Amino acid sequence: MIKPNVSLYHGSYIPVEKPDLSKCRDGKDFGRGFYLTTSRRQAERFTRTAVRKAESDKIISVDSAEGFVSEFFVDIWEGLQIYEFADADSEWLHCVVAHRRKRGMSDELARWADFDVIGGKIANDHTNLVITAYMDGLYGQIGSERADQIAIELLEPKNLKDQFCFRTVKALERLQWIHTERIAL
């Protein structure tokens, strides 16, 4: 669960002191928002992914040798609509798939629309393959008990780190930037 007075980390191809929702991409696990984790190591790993995506999108020059991990502090959660998944279960899977896929899942998307912050397990490189196979119907019909069970078993939830998606300006205002560190890739 989200604890008060917690440090959160964000990995990126640029230093981030003041997050801007207009620069956040759609189609991520918990929707458009600014993503952070309690795991500094996870943020460092994501830095590599962010740099490669920025190179691919021609935002930065190819073969960049550095990224950045920004640390934020949150001490006030009151007044925010927060939902945190306890585990990578069917509910988590449906939320992730709805935000990644969108088409045909408007009811599921509507369910999460009013939350300022959504937290839960992070889909990493290993889980992306499982979730894609799930969305393609390889385990059975999306949303069926059998397909959910197969996907969740393959996800190995106990090995996944956390992520928190700050989805609103109101939520971002609770983040206090601490510092940004340059990371050699």
DSSP 60: S
Pairing of strands 162-166, 34-36: antiparallel
- Give 36's contacts (C-beta < 8 A, 6+ positions apart): 8, 9, 10, 43, 72, 163, 164, 166, 175
The SS3 call for residue 52 is helix
12 CB burial (10 A radius; 0-12, 13-18, 19+): buried
Instruction: For 124-175, write each residue's pLDDT tens digit.
Output: 667 888 999 999 999 999 999 999 999 998 988 777 889 999 999 999 999 9
pLDDT score, position 103: 77
4: number of Cβ within 10 Å: 9
Q: Which domains does the chain have, with CATH numbers?
A: 6-184 (3.90.228)
DSSP code string of 62-78: TT--EEEEEEEEE---T
Separation of alpha carbons 97 and 119, rounded Å: 15
The three-point CA angle 2-88-6 to 5° equals 15
pLDDT score, position 31: 94
Instruction: For 55-114, write each residue's pLDDT tens digit.
Output: 988 888 877 789 999 999 998 888 999 999 998 899 999 999 999 887 778 899 999 999
